[in-house]
Amino acid sequence: MKRFAFLYRQMDQTTSTNRKLQALVDYFQAAEHQDALWTIALFSHRRPRRTVTTTLLRLWAAESAGIPLWLFEASYDMVGDLAEAIALVTPPPERSETLRTLKDWIRFMQELKDVDEEAKRKAILEAWSQLEQDERFLFNKLLTGGFRIGVSQKMVTKALAQVLAMDENAVAHRLMGDWTPDNTTWDALFQSDSALDDHSKPYPFYLAYALEGAPEDLGALSEWAAERKWDGIRGQYIHRGDTWFLWSRGEELVTDKFPELETLMKIIPPGTVLDGEIMPWKEDKPLPFADLQKRIGRKNVSKRLMIDIPVIFKAYDLLEWQGKDLRERPYQERRALLDPIIEAIPPGYPIRLSPMVPAGSWEELTTIRSRAREEHCEGLMLKRMDSAYGTGRKKGDWWKWKIDPLTIDAVMIYAQRGHGRRASLFTDFTFAVLDGEQLIPFTKAYSGLTDAEFDEVNAFIRRNTLDRFGPVAVVKPELVFEIAFEGIQASSRHKSGIALRFPRIKRWRKDKLRKEANTFQDLQEMLEQYG
Amino acid sequence: MALLTFSDKGFYCPPGDFYIDPWRQVNKAVITHAHSDHARYGHRQYIAQQDSVPLLKLRLGSFIQATGYPYGTTFSIRGVKVSFHPAAHVLGAAQVRLEYKGEVWVVTGDYKLAPDPLAGSFEPVPCHTFITECTFGLPIYQWPEPTQVFTEINDWWRENQEEGRTSILSAYSLGKAQRILCSVDAGIGPIYAHGAIENTHDVIRQMGIALPKTERITDKTNKKDLTGALVLTPSSGMASNWIRRFADPVTAAASGWMMVRGNRRRQSVDRGFVLSDHVDWNALNTVIGELHPEKIYVTHGFTDLFARWLQDQGYDADVVRTEYSGENEEPLEEVTG
């Protein structure tokens, strides 16, 4: 645990990418393989299962600190992170444990799964009394399962590539899939050939950057392919051997959530991997993204839900065909293979091609993009014709060219304290539009302000709180903000009758008074036009 | 009779007809220390510990009428016996002890238990009524050993120096800056200071107090000379264009708020050191346990929670609302430069 805590401190104490990378390399070189494997797992959101509830942890933290529960809860509110709050209030160790490493502590936690509450209590208090503050924090993070640290998967991959003397892309590929340190070993993951025989293993997703400048700057249009940017979930469809898998971009296996796609096995041959978008789709039209969220949210996908919100796979790339990895081949070649395969599939199967969007000039494409909202799209994707299918995010070959968001000027009416690093600040705001003298709340929005503006808004809220409901402050309705959002939908779940997609604060309209904000009528009109 | 009442101008002593750290203009103000949330402009007369007087004049103007007394000397204001006692917060910081007809009250101002190179060691003063700050009155605030923190600062500075970078550490100009200056290993390299800090240093040196060598940063300071140096700045310097003059800077902040990860990150500095001139949770409880006053009032900080904790422990404790910056360790002057 000492070595892992040292790594954590190094990562936490610097913002320099080089130093972080070096710290990871040093760690991977020195750590035992099974510890290193757990470290990789934690950095890639593969967490050990929770064996103790947070309610019990709070009780025991208060007990260990010798404070009443209400005081622990207040402390936790201030810190915003349970693992950290516990680490801060519990006393320093009487005798620091040096023998158990990361993997041992994880086993220690896993073994709590089947013991009774009193045994759990003893074990947890015992653990806290042996660990230094940083180590207690990490131990608690493992216990509560919310392990997040400022390390990108890319950096971990890079460090491992250095340590293993392997190609970065090869490492990224080996790190994919549903392995856990409990079902694999270091050698199996990185050295053996069989790791890649695992039928479920997806390829690393290639990600696009947002296009900031003018499309003309990309060069001749003839070198680029355009297609629609769909508002679904990025997914990888795998048919290998006699099974199929569906992965989401977050590297989550979502096969069970979309059983209707199983039928694709009948018409797509084994040895095929498709990249595309999982879309809610009805009457040959996309449904709102919110509908897809309903499907993801459910544990069990009912027949009813599948009828109400059917999904399709919108294919736009072919990564593997006849068991061969095509990722190094140019995009246009992959598309030349993909298009006839998908077009040959008889209607009725839940799969569609994401067609290329032809255009004669950048201007024409710009016009097409401006109509994206009518097509229920977020804009266009631009992919270089001769581009290989890369790993992770790389600038240059793939761009997302989104339409400008919709905007509306609204009045801030409630503010709520944030969590984690923003626990002592108001970070979540509720906004309203005008309806005569009344204010109709219609959305929440988070960031989008500069640090200075943010502090200023917080100071305003502290001075102008009219009332409090728990963590929510009722703010004097005076400040006007421009709220940007990607889409608008009718919603029965919201009081205002509408739901926004990706709402965020675009800017603070200090030049506007409350009476100059937009009205409920304006919002209704937007719903009619774009909903 | 209450020795102090709590008015909208601050703590008022009716028999003595004076205020302690008032935030509105008054005739006679007894001042605990020279930070601007405790020592405001515009009082007709200032009375403070003697080391505070030059600092008050630096901050409020040399024209102010200020009287200084050494620690432990009792003087009388209309029959109320007043004396100053070390608070170890910053140079000249004092607890104010009031005695009248056998009744003793103590106002702590801001204080810490760890000894301070310039502000001395905190002296517990027995009293009937104890008015204490509780800026960090929650059990999440338990300071690490200062020596350990200074080792961390030295290591950080040395490491940056090895990479040919400039270490920039934010600390408020009266107190924290000198505490760091006197505690880091000056053998590592040159130490520079922002004008606001150096102005304070000038005054302190004029008082005959020796400080390690510092260089004032001016427009003429050569960028190259700063490579490998430690630069002390108030946090306002960190937020302004000022910082851009440094080649490849590494930034850090030293404050009690750095105890919590979220605050460390929000400071948008590379590194946070836990170093405070206020009492932490353990120190607060130690002091109160030792003094065991009949009545406790808590001011700025987590007052409601700390008062409730004290009540749970069987103390007669209440909250007094004040206008000290409390939640914000940064005195106001730092905001204006």
Distance CA B236, CA B225 (A): 23
Q: What is the mean pLDDT of chain A?
A: 89
Structural tokens at position B100: 């009248």
Q: Which residues does chain B have within 8 Å of residue A452's beta carbon, measured at their own beta carbons?
A: 239
Tell me the pLDDT band of B327, cut-offs 50, 70 and 90: very low
Residue whose token pair is 């919002």? A523
Residue B148 contacts A, CB cutoff 8 Å: no
pLDDT at position A196, please? Answer: 65
Is A75 in contact with B262 (Cβ distance < 8 A)? Answer: no
Residue B312 contacts A, CB cutoff 8 Å: yes
B198 vs A309, A416, B40, B58, B164, CA distance in Å?
A: 68, 41, 22, 12, 24
pLDDT at position B326, please? Answer: 46
Lowest mean pLDDT among A302-311, B116-125, B247-256, B260-269: B260-269
Residue B318 contacts A, CB cutoff 8 Å: no
Tell me the pLDDT band of A483, cut-offs 50, 70 and 90: very high
Tell me the pLDDT band of A447, cut-offs 50, 70 and 90: low
Tell me the pLDDT band of B333, cut-offs 50, 70 and 90: very low
Can you state the percent helix, strand and coil of chain A, rounding each to 5?
40, 25, 35
Contact A168, A202 (CB under 8 A): no
Nearest to B293 by CA among B96, B92, B104: B104
pLDDT at position B175, please? Answer: 94
Contact A239, A272 (CB under 8 A): yes
3-state SS assignment for residue B195: helix
pLDDT at position B194 over 60: yes
Which CATH architecture describes the domain A406-530? Beta Barrel (2.40)
pLDDT at position B335 over 70: no
Number of alpha carbons in the 13 Å side-chain half-sphere of residue A514: 17
Q: Enter the CATH code of domain A2-144.
A: 1.10.3260.10
Residue B268 contacts A, CB cutoff 8 Å: yes
Nearest to B251 by CA among B183, B331, B187, B156: B156
pLDDT at position B331 over 50: no
Q: Which residues does chain B have within 8 Å of residue A149's beta carbon, measured at their own beta carbons?
A: none
Domain spans in chain A, listed from the N-terminal domain onward: 2-144, 206-402, 406-530
Mean pLDDT value of segment B189-197: 94
Alpha helices of A281-330 — where are they, by DSSP H? 289-297, 303-308
Query: Which pLDDT tens digit goes with each residue over B23-73?
Result: 999 999 999 999 988 999 999 999 999 999 999 999 999 999 999 999 999
Residues 6+ apart with CB under 8 A from A398: A206, A207, A208, A209, A381, A382, A383, A384, A387, A390
Task: Select, from the ranges A207-211, A527-531, B183-187, the one with the highest average predicted confidence (pLDDT).
Answer: B183-187
Q: Which residue has the higher pLDDT, A154 or A338?
A: A338
3-state SS assignment for residue B295: strand
Q: Enter the CATH code of domain B5-140+277-336.
A: 3.60.15.10
Q: Which residues does chain A have within 8 Å of residue B282's beta carbon, measured at their own beta carbons?
A: none
Mean pLDDT value of segment B122-127: 97
Is B261 in contact with A423 (Cβ distance < 8 A)? Answer: no
pLDDT at position A462, please? Answer: 83
pLDDT at position A45 over 50: yes
Percent of chain B with pLDDT over 70: 94
Nearest to B261 among A14, A421, A452 (CB): A421
Q: What beta strand segments (E) does chain B contain?
A: 5-7, 10-13, 18-20, 28-31, 45-49, 66-69, 75-77, 80-86, 94-100, 103-107, 129-134, 166-170, 191-193, 215-216, 230-233, 249-254, 271-273, 295-301, 317-319
pLDDT at position B222, please? Answer: 84
Q: Which residue has the higher pLDDT, A468 or B327?
A: A468
Is A84 in contact with B142 (Cβ distance < 8 A)? Answer: no
| Nearest chain B Cα distance for residue A86, angstroms | 8
Residue B282 contacts A, CB cutoff 8 Å: no
pLDDT at position B242 over 60: yes
Q: Which residues does chain B have within 8 Å of residue A70's beta carbon, measured at their own beta carbons?
A: 308
Distance CA A345, CA A237 (A): 16
Q: What is the mean pLDDT of chain B?
A: 91
Domain spans in chain B, listed from the N-terminal domain onward: 5-140+277-336, 146-273
Interface predicted TM-score (ipTM) of this complex, two decimals = 0.91
Lowest mean pLDDT among A219-223, A369-373, A376-380, A466-470: A466-470
Lowest mean pLDDT among A43-52, A302-311, A320-329, B63-72: A43-52
pLDDT at position A200, please? Answer: 84
Mutate to test the interface with B, among A77, A79, A454 (most CBs of B within 10 A): A79
pLDDT at position A422, please? Answer: 56
DSSP state for residue A516 in the 8-state scheme: G
Contact A167, A174 (CB under 8 A): no
Q: Enter the CATH code of domain B146-273.
A: 3.40.50.10890
pLDDT at position A298, please? Answer: 75
pLDDT at position A280, please? Answer: 94
Q: Enter the CATH code of domain A206-402.
A: 3.30.470.30
Is B259 in contact with A88 (Cβ distance < 8 A)? Answer: yes
Is A67 in contact with B139 (Cβ distance < 8 A)? Answer: yes
pLDDT at position A373, please? Answer: 82
